[in-house]
Structures are given as structure tokens and as C-alpha cells.
Amino acid sequence: MEQSSSPYESYKKAGKIAAKVLDEAIKLIKPEVKLVEIADFVERKIVELGGKPAFPCNISINERAAHYTPKIGDESVFKEGDYVKLDIGVHVDGYIADVAKTVIVGSGRDDLIRASEDALKEAIKAIEPGVSTSYVGGIIEETIKSYGYKPIINLTGHKLERYRLHTGSVIPNVKTASGEVIKAGDVYAIEPFATNGFGKVVDESEAVIFRYIRDKPLRLRDARIVLQHVKKEYKTLPFAERWLADLMPKLKLYNALRHLVYNQVFHAYFILREKNRGMVSQAEHTVIVTEKGAEVITGK
């Protein structure tokens, strides 16, 4: 693929778009507004500003921590007091910026939200070449616990590469026995999660976000149609079931996606819920590691 600019310029542009869209979308979250209206706004605005969604707009509410995006025909609405985590990804030429923020519908912020926000700020301050990801995780853990809450131990930040949202290298939300050394030029999405619950997430039984993994022979014709479309439009980036609504009737699409997941052609991102159904807050920025520290590309 021909690149229109340098990787750094593409990351910066993606970050600028992500920050702007997040700020605008957060203001639209109000009681009785449909979730799909916010998701559609986010994904449309990203394209209008010159980027593409790096993954479906995630809108995870209350005990749900991640991986929820409105379904086909979704009529659910925001309610007063909901803890809403809005997580947005933008890519320019495959270079990704990932940003998230939590608000309480109708009342803004509280200490649970401040715990994740301050953990993010402290983590960013600590990042520089030579620092261990475990050390950064320890700072996140200490900051969240100082508020009287728990970090979610099985959610992490993640290293970003071109067309790859998760590369295997992570920024944990707790201090770990070992870690990787952060290097200049690395790009990380740092995302502390705080909860008043158990401190761990579990899979729900449903997935509405998927990602292409590999090719395999497929018996089902509809599955082959979906696979061809996804490889062309989204490559290795996550996509929503909702984005495929025009390909075929809903039941056929549902069966095709399940067939692709069963055959390990697609990865299913199951909706993640806090184990004890505690409330969850999330804060996230994307940073480029420089010789001087961490350059935040998705805001201040």
C-alpha cells in the first residue's frame, strides 16, 4: 500500500482526529439518546475528518468494561447515572490512535473515574526508553488503589503497529513479575481500568465485534462472501457485525459469522463484564515513545 505521509505524521493525524471526535461525541451522551446514534456519529465523523475507524466505536456501560458496540437494530438508550466508557480508534494509512474516556450520564465524573484518569496521567509521566512495562503497571495499580478501588488485572494497554491493534506487548494495570523494556519509537495505547468490584473481567456469551485471522476452506457460501468483504474493507482490524448489515439478511449474517468463528477464520471479541458486576471506569491515550519520554497524540 502506498503511504501518503510518514508513519509519524499519520499517527499524529490519527491522534488529532480521535481526540476531536471523542470530545464532540462525549457532549452528545445524554439520557434517552440511543447508543447507535453516538456510534454512527463517531464512525461518520472519523471519515469526514480524513481517517478511518480502527475498530468499531465501543460504548461499554456500567459493569461492562469493553467490547460492546451497538448491534443491528439496537434500540438501547443511555440512562441517568450510567457509567459510559466511550472508546474510539482511528487509523490513517493503517497507523492507529486509540483513546477513551468515562462519563456518568447526567452528572459527569466521580472518584472512580478520577482513579483511572489519574492512573493514566501518572503512567504517561513514567514512560521513557529503558523503563519496564511492569514498572508502569505498578504505578497504575498504586494510583487506582490510592482512591480505594481496584485495577482490573486482566485488562491491559497494548502496543500498536501498522494495521495491528494488539501486537502482544502490553502495559499491565498492575505490577507484574516481569515486563518488557520500552524503547524509543514504540507506540502504546495506555488504558487503566478501575472498578469497585472484584478487579477482573469475564466473558459474556455474546460477541458483536470480530477480526480476520487467517484463510481456511469454507463450506458455507455466505461465510465466503463475508470473508471476502472483510479482508478487502477492514484487513486485520476489528469490525462490527453492524457494519455488515447490508451484505445479507440478519439471520444469514449471524450464521456466517458464527461459522467463521467456529472455523477460526475470525476472532470474536466477547463482551467483557466485571466479575462481580462492579462499576468500571476507563481512561486511555495513545503515546509515541521518544528519547525524552511519552508524546501523547490523542490529547493533553
Domains with residue ranges and CATH for the chain: 7-202+273-296 (3.90.230.10)
Residues 6+ apart with CB under 8 A from 258: none
Confidence of residue 168 (pLDDT cuts 50, 70, 90): confident
Confidence of residue 122 (pLDDT cuts 50, 70, 90): very high
pTM: 0.94
Q: What is the pLDDT of residue 110?
A: 95
Q: What is the pLDDT of residue 4?
A: 56
Residues forming the active site? 87, 98, 158, 166, 191, 284
Q: List, for residues 50-102, the tens digit of each pLDDT value.
A: 999 999 999 999 999 999 999 999 999 999 999 999 999 999 999 999 999 99
Q: What is the pLDDT of residue 27?
A: 96
Query: Contact 197/280 with Cβ under 8 angstroms?
Result: yes
Q: Would you call 112 exposed, middle or buried from its count of C-beta atoms within 10 A (0-12, 13-18, 19+)?
A: buried
Q: What is the pLDDT of residue 1?
A: 41
